[in-house]
């Protein structure tokens, strides 16, 4: 049996704290280690050089004394050399040795000559013409030795040698290393505590954001993230809260849109079905004509709704297109007014059309422009009560044409006015409509290089101003799309 190993991400999360520990703290520890080693090395170098300088001063002092003895013919040089070494004041700290011409130690300040096979690298270095300095271990103890040539003042002796233990220096270096290590540990602990506090100040809000966004993904937009800091994280919390509010509003509008569209579709379908059943049993000519009229009217209403939805779908997918050509704006506006004149009369709404004698041509899609006019006039009648007035007019302003539709109907509240051109939004839920007509109309006018402005006051009425650029030349037709 073959067992397939699941591929995918490891269960062990590469958290921010873990990355900070590995990257930042690891780098800081490495830097502290390099600095501490450099400090210890520099201190060791300094103390070793100080010890070397002290030994050289002491042995040069002895060499100077011996030089004076050698210059005095009445003095027994060998006896004075022995006396000088045996009476050396620092013999408790270091040992002086006199080395004869055969390279053997003859006299020491301690009175005990070393064994014959003892190595003296400093003396060998001196004989080779080098500095005569050596640091090494003797019987496990670190020692420093310096040899000085005295063959020029004595035929019996080649050199004097001083050797001292570096135990005190190494003990001091051990203390320094301990102090440096403790300082480094304290620094790392402080960085660890402050770093974790800083990282947690980022991780905790992000964790809260993550939990909230998971709820948003499931459609629960009630959750809000508490802002605890006045920084970029706090701004992110506010942005996500604003996003949640916008999503909640969009979700509510979408649900309302679905409800409204369902209701709008149910009404004509119910009428069509009812009259179809009536006509199947009643063949009276008058009833047939009335029923066919209702069916035709409701079918047209359904077609308009479907076309509106298709236009919105094209806008969302970027396939909404225009076929522009030189057109007479007044002709399309007049047709739209004519279409709704009878409807306004039936609903006892007065419609006034101030038709100008002439307006410049515009470069536009006549069907889409008429669609906008129909939508705006339909809204004016829809949101007007019986006895209200709808006034329609057009004029040339500069190089632009303005079409103004004003009514004294129910109006729009101040808080709803900025949203009326938003998809799915309906300011008044008691009136029919899908809530996407104005969004489509605004997009059409924008694609023509114009603007659609709405001003309204609740209980007073609404005014819609459509502005389109007039043609300055006789451009031929063109096709544009988004």
* Cα Rg of the chain (Å, integer): 51
- What local confidence, expressed as pLDDT, does residue 3 receive? 42
Q: CB neighbours of 319 closer than 8 A, spacing ≥ 6?
A: 481, 482
- What local confidence, expressed as pLDDT, does residue 477 receive? 43
Q: Where are the beta strands (DSSP E) in 232-330?
A: 321-327
- What local confidence, expressed as pLDDT, does residue 342 receive? 85
Tokens of 481: 């799309």
Mean of the per-residue pLDDT values of the chain:
81
Instruction: Please report, to the nearest 10 degrees, the dihedral formed by the alpha carbons of residues 402, 408, 414, 420 taken in order.
Output: -60
Q: What is the mean pLDDT of residues 133-142?
A: 89
- What local confidence, expressed as pLDDT, does residue 459 receive? 85
In the sheet with 362-364, reading across from the earlier edge strand, the strands are 362-364, 321-327, 478-481
Neighbours of 268 (CB within 10 A): 19
Q: CB neighbours of 287 closer than 8 A, spacing ≥ 6?
A: 278, 279
Does the pLDDT of residue 27 top 90, yes or no? Answer: no
Handedness of CA 78, 79, 82, 84 (dihedral sign): negative
- What local confidence, expressed as pLDDT, does residue 144 receive? 92
- What local confidence, expressed as pLDDT, does residue 260 receive? 63
Name the pLDDT band for 468 (thresholds 50, 70, 90): very high
**CATH annotation of 321-481:** 3.30.565.10
Does the pLDDT of residue 76 top 70, yes or no? Answer: yes
Does the pLDDT of residue 476 top 50, yes or no? Answer: no
Nearest of 358, 355, 262, 323 to residue 477 by alpha carbon: 323
Name the pLDDT band for 231 (thresholds 50, 70, 90): confident
- What local confidence, expressed as pLDDT, does residue 4 receive? 44
Does the pLDDT of residue 421 top 90, yes or no? Answer: no
331-371 pLDDT tens trace: 999 988 988 888 888 889 999 999 888 889 999 988 889 88
In the sheet with 400-407, reading across from the earlier edge strand, the strands are 350-354, 389-397, 400-407, 461-469, 451-457
Among 73-87, 211-225, 338-352, the least confident range: 211-225
Name the pLDDT band for 88 (thresholds 50, 70, 90): confident
Q: What is the mean pLDDT of residues 71-76?
A: 80
94-122 pLDDT tens trace: 999 998 888 888 888 887 766 666 788 99
- What local confidence, expressed as pLDDT, does residue 170 receive? 87
CATH C-level class of 221-319: mainly alpha
- What residue spans define the domains of the chain? 17-173, 221-319, 321-481
Does the pLDDT of residue 65 top 70, yes or no? Answer: yes
Among 2-16, 222-236, 346-360, the least confident range: 2-16
Name the pLDDT band for 426 (thresholds 50, 70, 90): low
Among 257-266, 357-366, 440-449, 463-472, the least confident range: 257-266
Homologous superfamily in CATH for domain 17-173: PAS domain (3.30.450.20)
CA atoms of 124 and 193, how far apart (whole Å): 56
- What local confidence, expressed as pLDDT, does residue 453 receive? 92
- What local confidence, expressed as pLDDT, does residue 317 receive? 64
- What local confidence, expressed as pLDDT, does residue 474 receive? 46
CA atoms of 227 and 423, how far apart (whole Å): 31
Among 62-71, 220-229, 424-433, the least confident range: 424-433
Does the pLDDT of residue 401 top 90, yes or no? Answer: yes
Nearest of 371, 411, 372, 370 to residue 388 by alpha carbon: 411
Q: CB neighbours of 162 closer than 8 A, spacing ≥ 6?
A: 55, 58, 59, 62, 94, 95, 96, 97, 145, 146
Does the pLDDT of residue 200 top 80, yes or no? Answer: no
Nearest of 392, 378, 398 to residue 463 by alpha carbon: 392
Q: Which residue has the tokens 């004698």?
A: 357
149 near 159, Cβ under 8 Å? yes
Upper half-sphere CA count for residue 356 (Cβ side, 13 Å): 16
339 near 378, Cβ under 8 Å? no
- What local confidence, expressed as pLDDT, does residue 261 receive? 66
Residue 79 vs residues 15, 35, 278, 434: alpha-carbon distances, Å: 80, 53, 151, 125
CA atoms of 417 and 427, how far apart (whole Å): 8
- What local confidence, expressed as pLDDT, does residue 53 receive? 93
The H or E element spanning position 160 is strand 157-165
Q: Which residue has the tokens 């422009």?
A: 369
Tokens of 168: 């005190």
CA atoms of 448 and 480, how far apart (whole Å): 9
Q: CB neighbours of 16 closer than 8 A, spacing ≥ 6?
A: 199, 202, 203, 206
Residue 398, burial from CB neighbour count under 10 angstroms (0-12, 13-18, 19+): exposed
Does the pLDDT of residue 12 top 60, yes or no? Answer: no
CA atoms of 292 and 194, how far apart (whole Å): 82
- DSSP assignment letter at 318: T
Nearest of 292, 312, 271 to residue 433 by alpha carbon: 312
- What local confidence, expressed as pLDDT, does residue 11 receive? 44
């Amino acid at each position: 049996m073959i067992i397939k190993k699941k591929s995918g991400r490891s269960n062990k999360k590469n958290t921010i704290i873990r990355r900070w520990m590995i990257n930042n703290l690891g780098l800081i520890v490495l830097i502290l280690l390099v600095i501490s080693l450099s400090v210890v090395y520099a201190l060791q170098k300094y103390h070793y050089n100080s010890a070397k300088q002290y030994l050289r001063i002491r042995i040069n002092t002895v060499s100077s004394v011996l030089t004076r003895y050698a210059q005095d013919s009445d003095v027994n040089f060998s006896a004075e050399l022995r006396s000088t070494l045996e009476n050396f004041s620092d013999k408790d700290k270091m040992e002086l040795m006199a080395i004869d011409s055969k390279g053997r130690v003859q006299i020491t300040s301690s009175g005990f000559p070393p064994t014959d096979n003892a190595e003296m690298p400093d003396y060998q270095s001196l004989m080779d013409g080098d500095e005569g300095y050596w640091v090494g271990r003797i019987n496990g103890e670190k020692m420093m030795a310096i040899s000085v040539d005295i063959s020029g003042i004595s035929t019996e002796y080649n050199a004097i040698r001083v050797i001292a233990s570096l135990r005190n220096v190494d003990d001091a270096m051990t203390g320094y290393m301990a102090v440096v290590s403790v300082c480094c540990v304290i620094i790392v602990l402080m960085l660890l505590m402050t770093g974790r506090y800083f990282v947690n100040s980022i991780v905790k809000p992000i964790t809260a954001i993550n939990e909230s966004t998971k709820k948003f993904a499931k459609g629960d937009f009630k959750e809000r993230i508490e802002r605890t800091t006045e920084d970029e994280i706090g701004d992110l919390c506010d942005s996500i809260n604003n996003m949640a509010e916008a999503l909640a509003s969009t979700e509510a509008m979408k649900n309302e849109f679905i409800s409204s569209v369902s209701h709008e579709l149910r009404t004509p379908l119910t009428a069509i079905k009812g009259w179809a059943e009536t006509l199947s049993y009643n063949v009276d000519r008058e009833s047939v004509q009335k029923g066919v009229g209702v069916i035709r009217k409701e079918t047209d209403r359904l077609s308009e709704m479907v076309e509106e939805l298709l236009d919105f779908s094209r806008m969302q997918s970027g396939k909404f297109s225009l076929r522009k050509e030189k057109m007479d704006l007044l002709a399309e506006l007049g047709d739209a007014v004519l279409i709704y004149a009878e409807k306004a009369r039936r609903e006892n709404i007065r419609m006034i059309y101030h038709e100008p004698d002439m307006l410049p041509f515009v470069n536009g899609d006549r069907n889409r422009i008429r669609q906008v006019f129909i939508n705006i006039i339909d809204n004016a009648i829809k949101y007007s009560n019986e006895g209200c007035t709808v006034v329609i007019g057009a004029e040339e302003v500069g190089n632009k044409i303005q079409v103004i539709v004003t009514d004294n109907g129910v109006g729009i509240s101040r808080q709803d006015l900025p949203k009326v051109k938003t998809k799915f939004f309906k300011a008044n839920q008691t009136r029919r409509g899908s809530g996407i007509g104005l969004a489509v109309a605004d997009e059409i006018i924008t694609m023509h290089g114009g603007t659609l402005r709405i001003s309204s006051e609740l209980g007073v009425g609404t005014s819609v101003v459509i502005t389109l650029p007039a043609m300055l030349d006789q451009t031929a037709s063109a096709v544009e799309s988004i």
